[in-house]
Chain A
C-alpha cells in the first residue's frame, strides 16, 4: 500500500499528489513514469513522474481527470492509501551535451515537461520554456516553471493570459529570431507534439517527444503500448516513452489511443457507484 502524503488541486481538472514510495524516489529520473492501481478492481494507469524527493522518499504525480481511475484518484485525500505504485519505468531522457534547449509543455503536459526543464536547468543548460494552455483558468505550474527556466513564455489559445496563439507559433518566432536550440523537448497532447515536430523539422532541430500510449504492465510484456518509430515497432514502456519526434507515426498513435473511448465513457457512467462507495469509505 502506498500513502498519499500531499494533495494539491492545481486547477479544477488537475491534481498534484506526493506519494510515499522510497524505493522509487531513490531511483527516479526525468522522463520516467510510474503505474498506479487504486484497489483490487482497479486498472493499471501510467503517469509520468513530475518530481521526487529522495530524502523524504516521495514521488510527485500530476494528473488530469480524464477517465474513471484518474477521477477516483482525485477523490482520494492525504493519508489515504492506494494499492499499487510501481516504477520508475521507462528510459530516462538522454540529454547528451545540450547547451540550449526549448522545453514545450501543452496543458497538463507541463507537469511532465517540468522535471525535464528542472533537470536541464540544474545541469546549467539554457532552458527556454514555452507553456501552452487553452485558457487562463487551466494554467498550472507557472511559478515552478519560471524557476526552472532561463526564459518562460506562456501562450493561451484564446489570449486570456500570456500571448494569444499556439506553442508552435511561439516556437517558430523564437527560432526565426535566431535562437539556436540544440534540442526541443515537447510534451502534451498528441496533436501538439505532432505539430511541434513538423515545425522543427525544416530547421533540422532534434525534437524529443514523450509518448502516452495505452499501457497495461509497463514492463515490456504485452506490447499494448507499441508505436511505430522510423518504420519500426517500439514498445513505449521500455524503449521510451521518449522518442525522436521526426520519426514517430503520430496518426497511428492517435488511432490506437481511441480503442476504448466508447467503453471508457460507458464505464465511467456505470462505475460511478464504485466511486461513490469509495468516497463514502474515505469519509468514514
Chain B
C-alpha cells in the first residue's frame, strides 16, 4: 500500500538565521528512513509521465522502487544508466517544472520528491558505495570536449562509457563550469562536483585545465594536428550583460559572474585565500533569476543588507520558487516592479546608492510576460554601497570568432541540427548554453548526452 500522504516528506534544513551566516549546505538531505518513507508515495504508474519530464530520462519509478525496498545500491545503478551527475541534478534541477511537474501525485497534493530521492541515492553512494568503475575498453578514437560544465561532463561520460578516448579542455584552473564558479557551496558543495569529475577521470577521461580553446589551440588544430576525430563544444554562455546605465563603471559594481566567481571558485569568503571581495554594508542585486538569488544569498552571508531589484513582479521571476523562498527566509528584501536608472557616485568614484523607478505591468510582450512600464517621476534611491548586475549572459565569442564555418544566430548562439546537435561543420557538435543561451544545468546535460549519441553514430559510420 502506497504512502498516501499529500505532502512530501520534509527536507531537513539549517535554520534561516543560522545558515545566512555560513556557506554550508542549506538542505541537509534525507535520512534513509525519510527516503524510504517518501519513496512509498510513488504509485509506480505504468505510463511514467515523470520520465518524460526529465531531460535525460532517468528511469524514475524504477529507481524509486529500489529506494522503497531499501536497496540504495540498486537504485544508484538505475539512475546512473542515464544520468552521470545525480548528486548535482538532485540538488540544482528545477524539478517543479520538469519531472515533478508531471507526477500524478501532484494533481492532488504535492508530487513525489524525485529530486530529493535522487540526491539521497547519490549521496548514499558517495558515502557507502565502492568504486566499481571499470575502465571501458578503448576503441582508439579520440574525441575533444571544449568546456567542462554540465553539457561537457555529460557528453564526456557517455562517450567514455562507449570506449572513446575523451579529453576535456577547460579554460579555468578547475573543472566544472557553472557548477564550480556559479552555483554557491550552500546549494551545491564543491566536493560533490569534484567527486563526480573524479569518477569520469577513473573511466579514463582526461581533464586538461588552463586550456582556453580559441587562444592556445583552435578547434581546427584539435582536429588537424592533435588527431581528434570529433569535437563537442560546451563552452556555455558566460559573457555577462550590463544595463548601460550611468555609474556602472563605479567601484562597487560587479557582474554576478565576477561576484560569484570570486566567492565560489576563488573562495574569497574564506580567510587565507588570496582573492579579495568587497565586504559591503548594503548590496542591490539587479535581476530575478537563479543567479540573482545566488548572488544575493552570498552577499547576505558576507554580512550585508541585501535587496533584490527586479523590474517585474514576483510572478514573472525566472528563479526557482524554492530559491526565492530560501532567499526571503534568509532576510533578503525584494524590491519588485523596480527598475534601476542610475548608479550614484559618492564623489570619490564609489557606489553611493542606486536610483530606481517604480514600474507597473502593461500588456504581455513577445515572451508572454507582461511588459513593465515606468511610472514617470517615481524616482527613488536605495542606499547601497555595492551593486551586482545579474541581468543575463550570452555566449562568449571566442570560439565562433576563431573557427571558420561555425554558424551562429543573432544572439551569438551556435546553430545546431536539433536532432543530432551537429553544428554547421561536420564532426563538430555543440550543446548546452553555447547553443540555447543561458538555461538550466539539466538541459545542458541532456544536450551533452544527445550529442554523445550522435558523435558515436558519426564515428561508427565514418
Which residues of A are interface residues toward B (Cβ below 8 A)? 23-24, 27, 37, 41-44, 68-69, 83-89, 216-217, 219-224, 226, 228, 233, 238, 249, 252, 255-256, 258-260, 263-264, 267, 270-271, 274
CA–CA, A83 and B255, complex, Å: 27
Contact with A along B229-268 (1 / 0, CB 8 A): 0000000001110101000111110110110011000110
Q: Closest A-chain residue to B259, C-beta based?
A: A222
Question: Distance (Å) between the CB of B264 and the closest chain A CB?
Answer: 12
Q: Closest A-chain residue to B182, C-beta based?
A: A221
Q: Is the interface of B mostly helix, strand, loop or mixed?
A: loop
Question: Distance (Å) between the CB of B124 and the closest chain A CB?
Answer: 29
Is the CB–CB distance between B249 and A228 below 8 Å? yes
Is the CB–CB distance between A222 and B242 below 8 Å? no
Question: Distance (Å) between the CB of B111 and the closest chain A CB?
Answer: 36
Choice from A27, A249, A263 contacting B216 with Cβ under 8 Å: A27
Is the CB–CB distance between B261 and A216 below 8 Å? yes
Is the CB–CB distance between B210 and A221 below 8 Å? no
Is the CB–CB distance between B251 and A255 below 8 Å? yes
Q: Closest A-chain residue to B248, C-beta based?
A: A233
Is the CB–CB distance between B255 and A42 below 8 Å? no
Question: With A68-B274, A86-B171, A223-B255 known to touch, is A252 a contact of B249 (CB < 8 Å)?
Answer: yes
Q: Closest A-chain residue to B170, C-beta based?
A: A86
Which chain A residues lie closer than 8 Å to B209 at the CB level? 84
Is the CB–CB distance between A41 and B255 below 8 Å? no
Question: With A222-B257, A228-B249 known to touch, is A23 a contact of B239 (CB < 8 Å)?
Answer: no
Which chain A residues lie closer than 8 Å to B349 at the CB level? 252, 255-256, 258
Which residues of B are interface residues toward A (Cβ below 8 A)? 171-173, 209-212, 215-217, 238-240, 242, 244, 248-252, 254-255, 257-258, 261-262, 266-267, 271-276, 278, 348-349, 396-398
Is the CB–CB distance between B251 and A222 below 8 Å? no
Which chain A residues lie closer than 8 Å to B255 at the CB level? 222-224
Among B216, B244, B257, B266: residue with most chain A CB under 10 A: B216
Is the CB–CB distance between A85 and B210 below 8 Å? yes
Q: Closest B-chain residue to A235, C-beta based?
A: B239
Which chain A residues lie closer than 8 Å to B249 at the CB level? 226, 228, 233, 249, 252, 256
Is the CB–CB distance between B276 and A221 below 8 Å? no
CA–CA, A249 and B249, complex, Å: 11
Question: Distance (Å) between the CB of B336 and the closest chain A CB?
Answer: 26
Contacts A/B (CB < 8 Å), 25 sampled:
A41-B272, A41-B274, A42-B274, A44-B173, A68-B274, A83-B173, A87-B216, A88-B215, A216-B261, A216-B262, A216-B275, A219-B396, A222-B255, A222-B257, A223-B240, A223-B258, A224-B255, A224-B258, A226-B249, A233-B248, A238-B396, A255-B250, A258-B349, A271-B272, A271-B274
Which chain A residues lie closer than 8 Å to B212 at the CB level? 86-87, 89, 219
Choice from A216, A249, A270, A271 contacting B258 with Cβ under 8 Å: A216
CA–CA, A86 and B96, complex, Å: 40
Question: With A259-B278, A271-B272 known to touch, is A221 a contact of B261 (CB < 8 Å)?
Answer: yes
Among A37, A68, A222: residue with most chain B CB under 10 A: A222
Is the CB–CB distance between A87 and B276 below 8 Å? no
Choice from B173, B210, B251 contacting A258 with Cβ under 8 Å: B251
Q: Closest A-chain residue to B260, C-beta based?
A: A222
Question: With A37-B173, A267-B276 known to touch, is A222 a contact of B261 (CB < 8 Å)?
Answer: yes
Choice from A222, A233, A256, A263 contacting B276 with Cβ under 8 Å: A263
Given contacts A43-B275, A220-B396, 16 further A-B contacts (CB under 8 A): A42-B274, A68-B274, A69-B274, A83-B173, A89-B212, A89-B215, A216-B261, A216-B262, A221-B239, A222-B257, A223-B255, A233-B242, A233-B244, A258-B349, A267-B274, A271-B274
CA–CA, A78 and B204, complex, Å: 33
Which chain B residues lie closer than 8 Å to A264 at the CB level? 276
Question: With A260-B276, A267-B276 known to touch, is A222 a contact of B258 (CB < 8 Å)?
Answer: yes
CA–CA, A24 and B210, complex, Å: 10
Question: Distance (Å) between the CB of B242 and the closest chain A CB?
Answer: 6
CA–CA, A60 and B49, complex, Å: 60
CA–CA, A41 and B276, complex, Å: 12
CA–CA, A111 and B437, complex, Å: 40
Question: Distance (Å) between the CB of B442 and the closest chain A CB?
Answer: 21
CA–CA, A223 and B388, complex, Å: 12
Is the CB–CB distance between B216 and A23 below 8 Å? yes
Which chain A residues lie closer than 8 Å to B216 at the CB level? 23-24, 27, 86-88
Which chain B residues lie closer than 8 Å to A42 at the CB level? 274
Question: Distance (Å) between the CB of B372 and the closest chain A CB?
Answer: 24
Question: Distance (Å) between the CB of A59 and the closest chain B CB?
Answer: 11
Is the CB–CB distance between A23 and B261 below 8 Å? no
Choice from B238, B251, B262, B272 contacting A221 with Cβ under 8 Å: B238
Among B212, B217, B274, B396: residue with most chain A CB under 10 A: B274
Is the CB–CB distance between A41 and B238 below 8 Å? no
Which chain B residues lie closer than 8 Å to A271 at the CB level? 272, 274
Which chain B residues lie closer than 8 Å to A259 at the CB level? 251-252, 278
